[in-house]
Amino acid sequence: MSLLVLALKSLQARRLAAGLTVFAVATSLALIIVVETVRDGARQGFLNTISSTDLIMGARTGGVQLLLYSVFHLGNATNNITWKSYQDIAAIKDVSWIVPISLGDSHRGFRVVGTTPTFFQHYSHGQREHLQFSSGKRFSGLFDVVIGAAVAKELAYDVGTNLIVAHGLESFVEHTDFPFQVSGVLKATGTPVDRSVLVSLEAIEAIHTNMAALRGAPKGTTAGALFESVDLTPKAVTAALIGVETKLGIFGVQRQINSYSEEPLTAILPGVTLSELYQITTVAETALRVVLWAVIVASLLGMSAMLVATLSARERELAIMRTIGASSLHIVSLIMMEALVLAALSSVCAIILANVLLIAAGPIIESRYGLALTNVGLMSSGSSILAVFLLLAPFAGLFPVFSAYRSALVTRLALKN
């Protein structure tokens, strides 16, 4: 009889204790896989927030700060870029496209982003995925607005809904004279765009226009007609996303922006700065990994405790095996094989349980936290942890082996009344 078959039969004879051990260990491993999958999803979602953008330009500041306010809409710019400077940079030979971004206003806690229709053409996320509409279309009228999926869901907005933009992030001053109307709702992207209210640059200029200059208009004039004779060319923008003709020209354009003489500007590589920003979380991530490995050790100790607890019922069994010629190595191998079988069964159950949890919780995690868990399954990080667990599992049987040999062989053969 092979060692594996003997181990399976031995565990079957103690199926209640073995089953409880497998369930306990599988639950711990499943939680590890879920945590690792969510962590990897968060990392990938973070790093894939923006793609196909070669450079991000803003006023002279730190690269991380520029990335935070231009892409993640966190914080505020130290200064703006004049419209003339923006046009000068757009005219650089190697610049393929440029998309302006203007920040400063909000709507019920969501950032209002002024931009141009080219934003929907050139902004991409993930694996070069472009923005798509779940309903409606991009803004075309002066007071049209496009909202992200999270805005639409939390505020119950849809195409045709009217909304009022407020000045600043926490201001009670609202531009009530110029209501906007939702022209489109974007599909969820798992990026800050989901929580953005997108309007045209001209609309940003319009709502900040001096009302005294418009008081001579006939009563009942529509908002659109009111600004037909007003120059709504932006005076400044907050930042700009830039695409370069060739990859070889990226550093040349970056150098020209950083050395621009009319005003101090900064151009950053978004991919590089994203990696730098993610390094800030390495301390918390390291602490999390320590906890996960502590769970692995606890699982191994749990298996070892189960094997030790059943030794008293197996003393005659082991003694008889030695009497009929089983070597010490054979006994050791049997107990280590039992530990390996328990670990293998626990791992399989853990993978199944983790996938069930991820499939069930995936939509909730995506809607609440914007994390799209597209790689549901055994992630590379989860598989590496399970591999280490399976390698260490046989050694969980060593302590039971030492316990088994503490008593003399004669004692083990004694009949028990």
Shared domain for 70 and 31, answered yes or no, is no
**Using one digit for the tens of pLDDT, what is the confidence trace for 102-155?**
998 999 889 999 999 999 999 998 778 899 999 999 998 889 999 999 899 889
How many residues in the chain? 417
CA 163 to chain centre: 30
Residue 175 lies inside a defined structural domain of this protein: yes
The CA-atom distances, in angstroms, between 319 and each of 315, 398, 408, 416 are 6, 18, 9, 14
Taking each helix axis from N to C end, the angle separating 380-392 and 15-47, rounded to the nearest 10 degrees, works out to: 150
DSSP designation for 179? -
| CA–CA distance, 52 with 118 (Å, rounded to integer) | 14
Residue 273 lies inside a defined structural domain of this protein: no
The structure's pTM equals: 0.70
Provide the residue range defining the domain that includes 129: 55-268
Residue 130 lies inside a defined structural domain of this protein: yes
**Using one digit for the tens of pLDDT, what is the confidence trace for 204-240?**
988 887 654 555 555 555 555 667 777 788 999 999 9
Residue 275 lies inside a defined structural domain of this protein: no
Question: How many domains, in total, are found in the chain?
Answer: 2
Neighbours of 1 (CB within 10 A): 6
Q: What is the three-state SS of 350-379?
A: HHHHHHHHHHHHHHHHHHHHCCCCCCCCCC
User: What's the pLDDT at 297?
Assistant: 85
User: What's the pLDDT at 53?
Assistant: 93
Q: Residue holding tokens 């918390």?
A: 284
User: What's the pLDDT at 11?
Assistant: 77
Reported as type and span, the H/E element at residue 55 is strand 55-59
pLDDT mean values, one per 10 residues, the chain (417 residues): 74 81 87 80 75 93 91 88 96 95 91 94 87 93 92 93 84 76 92 93 85 54 65 92 93 95 94 82 76 83 76 64 66 78 88 84 64 55 77 76 54 46
For residue 304, the number of C-alpha atoms closer than 13 Å in the C-beta half-sphere is 18
Residue 151 lies inside a defined structural domain of this protein: yes
Shared domain for 235 and 378, answered yes or no, is no
225-257 as b/e: b if 16+ CB within 10 A: ebbeeeeeebebbbbbbbbbeeeebbeebbebb
DSSP designation for 209? S
